[in-house]
A and B are shown apart, each in its own frame.
Chain A
Amino acid sequence: MKNQPVHQGRLKSPFHSRIAQLDTVNEWHQWKGYSSADSLYCEDTEYFAIRNSTAVFDLTPMTKYRITGPDALDYLNRLVTRDMTKIRPGRVAYAVWCDDQGQVIDDGTIFHLREGEYRLCSQERHFAWLQAAAIGFDVTVTHETEDIAALAVQGPTSFSVLNKMGLAGLDELKPFGLTHFDFQGTELMVSRTGFTGDLGYELWIDPDKAEALWDALFEAGELFGIRAIGTHALEMARIEAGFLAAYMEFLPADETVRTGRSRSPLELGLEWLVDFKKPNFNGRRALAEEKRNGSTWQLVKLDIEGNKPAHNSYIFDNARASRDNIGFTTSAAWSPVCKQNIALGTVRAPHGKPGDTVWVEIYYQREMHWNRNMARATVVDKAFWFPPRRGATPPGPY
């Protein structure tokens, strides 16, 4: 085995030079060892780039594993709860994976790159679990986070930008599809995926070509309002789309210490991802039992009255908070595009059915003094933001 130098300090994404050049606020955080921008200008401006033009977000720190070998499909089919045999080459699947107790370890996307060759992407790192899951399978799991530079290109004009960049035939690409292009002699993979709930793409390329890709993209996007964004803007879009985030809507099961602090896919509203027709997958027995006996928790999307975001709020089933709370919010935001006060939360089943009214205890500060507001909230079924263009093929020029 060859010794490799250990990185000391923060890693820099291959796009760092370009992001640093655009950056005006110098606000960074650490994401799995990488420096990642909170924002570059102002998060509202960046947010509106997502919703009104094109936003570019550096995805490189996202965890990526390559899964290959004769048993790759069987391996993934046991790993995740959904049926992977339905995911053909050139398709991407949103998936969730559980431990033996049916508790969610993480969610992520699985790219069927070519026949029998997959990439699994997630926010957190899972090498130990993926290795354990490989016992008894003829499969190779390779950590390739640092070997691939990735950008999310999201927003209504994203198709136009990429089209202008010369990616011919991209209009055929359906949501959750992926395709390959030649970019200056290097393979560029483009998938129609994202974390914004809007029309958008993700671009994957060799890190050596990262800067060239960035430059080409921004040149093509100049007249389409392209703008680099940081995590804060993306987070608002993520909540509008109703997507889950690890450490927000759930804790990875292998990170919890206390019983009852993890969540099952059924409790996270992901039953559509759990295929009980599969004879075996990690967590199947426990989930089947939960399905019979009922879940403890229920994830809710809340449409809340007023305009004060319900950060860290308890949820009650009555306005007087006369009984114990039934849960709490996990993510909250004022949604500029929906003009709604929205939140994701977790409540004790059987509370939290679509259409239910609950009450959210919101604290907010005004000139140092704290105010408390019991706000009426409605449990909604659908994502807060789901524009038709997200699903349209061809997506159309904006």
Chain B
Amino acid sequence: MASRYDAIVVGAGHNGLVCSALLARAGKNVLVLEANEQVGGAAVTREFADGYSVSACAHLLYQLQPEVRKELKLSPRLASEDMTTIALSQDGKHLRITADEVVGASDEDAEQYRRFRKRMTRFADLLRKYLNRRPPRLGTKDFKDLVTLGQLGLDLRMLGKDEMQEFLRLIGMNIHDELTERFRNPLLKGAISLDAVLGTHLGPRSPNTIMTYLYRLAGNHGRAGAPHGGMGSVSEELAQAARSAGATIRTKMPVKRILIENGRATGVETEAGERFDSYTVISNADPKRTMMELVGARHAETGFTRRIHHLRSRGNAAKLHLALDGLPRIEGLAKKDFAERLVIAPDEHYVERAFNPAKYGQSSPEPVVELTFPSFRDESLAPTGKHVMSAIVQYAPYALQGGWSDGAREAFTLAVIGTIAKYAPDIEQRISASELLTPADIEREFHITGGHWHHGELTLDQFLFVRPVSGAAQYRMPVDGVYLCGAGTHPGGGVSGAAGRNAARTILSREKAA
């Protein structure tokens, strides 16, 4: 006799946990099934070498939505807060960039940066308002959708005529053009370029990179923090919130398929053949995996499955983890600076050049790197006196030509370490262990198609009304009882919880209406 639940959530990623916690709080009997041993999906802390732990994928928290924090009474403990971005320079004259100012650039650049940030923040705030709502549908008579659409139009207009025009001009544009118009300092241009393209298959000259930059800012004005205990602690806290609200979370329970009978969801079946019944199945998995593997194309219509099939979701960001005997020496950096966020993107052309080979399925010989030393402020992550380095590295295309063989992995690891060594010459002597996670590894270990951290490229053609694709943009799949709640849905990736919260609210309000 299978057990019946009000809702089953497939995958305990952070969005799945937020969604299940909110549903459980509304009195639903919720079951969460997670394939891996740990909850959190890509937001986990893992030991990668004896005594050394690190956030396996996402390592900085900058988007967790205040609404999610408030509703679930979360208070993640942060090891570092409001981190400064230090754009590394080989001559030691680094640039320090915060949300409000830049130190180390000319007065003119500093002034331009203030103006740039002011405008971007204003636009990002507009965007933020819509991150936490169900995206409206176009061509509908639904009252709520019409109100949201009307509000969106009104909010745009309320920017004022000039600013609205600027918004509409900039939103589809590439970041490179905007940066070269405003700034002189190459480090500044490089660092902002990196912010705009991190986690995407885009270079700074690709259209749409102002949108991705705004998305980053929309979280918390881009202020990043490093959670104590790694990102896994945030997931643990979320899981705790879900459990205390009454949800059941079971790990090491990979779901084989979502059961569809007579055109509607009736439950799930695990790899082990266990069956759980529910008329509401919410998938935290990416849209492609949900449709093609869990549900099956035969249960949806051709136009829809074609759109899902063509969803662009090839990851390009790799993670490199190093276990270090001690902190490396970086010229011009004070010891306390190791608590900050270090970036290697010496100029805007460097970032685009790093992207070039990725267009042809090759990894960057000189990658762009976002570096953190999470153990600097958090001793739980490494043995005393020793450290871990957590780096996001681009570009490492998912579909590497010839595949991610041992040779290819080693070559890319060496390229990254070689790049870091230009700034920290003694890093190589300090390494006692390393781990590289390519998008292919991320796909395998975290079950994300293409290993893309947004579960689908975050571009205008896959945004808002059409995220992941039209016909599923309101968290509902066109198969009765099947919902999405992951990063592949509006608004997108990053540890924000917005998608999970929006999905839960949609499901609850549909129930109320029914």
Contacts and interface: CB of A to CB of B under 8 A. Distances in A.
Report whether chain A binds chain B: yes
Interface of A: 71, 74-75, 78-79, 99-101, 129, 132-133, 135-137, 279-285
Interface residues of B, number: 20
B304 A100 contact: yes
A78 B300 CA distance: 9
B298 A282 contact: no
B429 interface: no
A280 B299 contact: yes
A119 B300 CA distance: 23
A147 B280 CA distance: 49
B206 interface: no
Residue of B263, B292, B479 with most partner-chain A CB within 10 A: B263
Given A280-B299, A283-B301, A135 B309 contact: yes
Contact of B297 (A100, A136, A283): A136
Contact of A136 (B261, B263, B292): B292
Contacts of A283: 301
| Residue among A71, A129, A279, A281 facing the most chain B CB atoms (10 A cut-off) | A279
13 contacts: A75-B298, A79-B302, A100-B301, A101-B303, A129-B302, A132-B306, A136-B298, A136-B309, A280-B299, A280-B301, A280-B479, A284-B301, A285-B478
Contacts of B296: 136
Nearest to A259: B139
A285 B297 contact: no
B302 A279 contact: no
A100 to B, nearest CB: 4
B262 interface: yes
Contacts of B261: 279
B496 to A, nearest CB: 31
B298 A99 contact: no
Contacts of A135: 292, 297, 302, 305-306, 309
B263 A280 contact: yes
Contacts of A132: 302-303, 305-306, 309
Contacts of A99: 302-303
A129 B305 CA distance: 12
B289 to A, nearest CB: 12
Closest 5 CB pairs of A and B: A136-B297, A279-B263, A100-B303, A132-B306, A133-B302
B471 interface: yes
B259 to A, nearest CB: 12
Nearest to B293: A136
A282 B297 contact: no
A96 to B, nearest CB: 14
Interface in B243-292: 260-263, 292
A78 B309 contact: no
Nearest to A71: B298
Contacts of B300: 280
Contacts of A136: 292, 296-298, 305, 309
Contacts of A137: 297-298
B84 to A, nearest CB: 47
**Which of A99, A135, A281 has the most chain B CB atoms inside 10 A of its CB?**
A135
Given A135-B297, A135-B309, A137-B297, A100 B302 contact: yes
Contacts of B298: 71, 74-75, 78, 136-137, 280
A129 B301 CA distance: 12
Given A132-B303, A279-B299, A280-B300, 17 more contacts: A74-B298, A78-B298, A79-B302, A99-B302, A100-B304, A135-B292, A136-B292, A136-B298, A279-B260, A280-B263, A280-B298, A280-B301, A281-B301, A282-B303, A283-B301, A285-B301, A285-B478
A79 to B, nearest CB: 7
A78 B304 CA distance: 13
A135 B292 CA distance: 9
Nearest to A75: B298
Interface in B292-326: 292, 296-306, 309
Contacts of B306: 132, 135
Nearest to A128: B306
A78 B302 contact: yes
A377 to B, nearest CB: 37
Most B CB contacts (10 A, CB to CB) among A74, A136, A282 go to A136
A28 B358 CA distance: 53
Nearest to B262: A279
A342 B484 CA distance: 53
Contacts of A282: 301-303
Contacts of A78: 298, 301-302
Nearest to B471: A100
A70 B419 CA distance: 51
Nearest to A135: B309
Nearest to A254: B303
Contacts of B304: 100
A79 B306 CA distance: 13
A213 B42 CA distance: 66
B165 to A, nearest CB: 31
A132 B301 CA distance: 10
Contacts of A100: 301-304, 471
A135 B310 CA distance: 10
B302 to A, nearest CB: 4
A281 B304 CA distance: 12
A279 B263 CA distance: 5
A74, A100, A284 interface centre (most CB from chain B within 10 Å): A100
A78 B301 CA distance: 8
A284 B304 CA distance: 13
A75 B299 CA distance: 11
A284 B300 CA distance: 10
Nearest to A285: B478
Contacts of B262: 279
Interface string B151-183: 000000000000000000000000000000000
A282 B306 CA distance: 12
A202 to B, nearest CB: 28
Nearest to B302: A133
B466 to A, nearest CB: 15
Which of A74, A78, A79, A101 has the most chain B CB within a 10 Å cutoff? A78
A101 B304 CA distance: 11
A284 to B, nearest CB: 7
A108 B479 CA distance: 28
Interface string B353-371: 0000000000000000000
Contacts of A74: 298
Nearest to B479: A280
Most buried by B among A129, A280, A281: A280
B170 to A, nearest CB: 32
B257 to A, nearest CB: 13
Contacts of A284: 263, 301
A129 B298 CA distance: 15
A80 to B, nearest CB: 11
A75 B305 CA distance: 13
Nearest to A277: B262
A99 B304 CA distance: 10
Contacts of B292: 135-136
Contacts of B301: 78, 100, 280-285
A31 B303 CA distance: 28
Contacts of A71: 298
A64 to B, nearest CB: 20
A136 B307 CA distance: 12
Nearest to A131: B306
A132 to B, nearest CB: 4
Interface string B416-432: 00000000000000000
Nearest to B291: A136
A111 B309 CA distance: 29
Nearest to B139: A259
A293 to B, nearest CB: 13
A129 B304 CA distance: 12
Contacts of A285: 301, 478
A71 B297 CA distance: 12
A192 to B, nearest CB: 31
Contacts of B302: 78-79, 99-100, 129, 132-133, 135, 282
